[in-house]
Amino acid sequence: MSAAAGLASIREILERRLPENARRMGAYLVEKLERLRSLGIIGDIRGKGLMIGIEFAADPVTKRPFPAETKLGLRIGRQALRNGLLLRFDPHWIAFGPPLIVTETDIDQMVEILERSIKEVLREL
């Protein structure tokens, strides 16, 4: 039974070309996130496929982090959650991990929520 379920899953992944979608949508996500550099706190954007992380920095050029007590990543991650976006987050970074079936429309919405959340947190600093 479990082997049949596994084979059905693999067949679905291949037929729907989900790895290809992950590569294409991952590139689209990075492209959209790059536009957030204008907010002045993005130190790095990196990852592979749809697993993309953003590291926050007080000085994006030198990558100098914010002071530990700022916990900017936690604050942004929690605000994004309140705004309807589930992310992984840490004191200095956030990370995306959307499903393999994600669309450009989904990504546009995620990045819009993230941008709004960042701006809300920065107003509090």
For the segment 56-107, what is each residue's pLDDT rounded down to a tens digit? 999 999 999 999 999 999 999 999 999 999 999 999 999 999 999 999 999 9
Please list, in sequence order, all residues whose beta carbon lies within 8 angstroms of the beta carbon of residue 16, skipping any fewer than 6 positions away: 101
User: Which sequence spans correspond to the domains of the chain?
Assistant: 17-124
- Give the predicted TM-score (pTM) of the model: 0.92
- Record the tokens describing residue 119, joined without a space: 């701006």
Distance CA 125, CA 120 (A): 9
**Closest C-alpha among 71, 36, 44 to residue 60:** 44
Q: What fold, for 17-124?
A: Aspartate Aminotransferase, domain 1 (3.90.1150)
Distance CA 18, CA 51 (A): 14
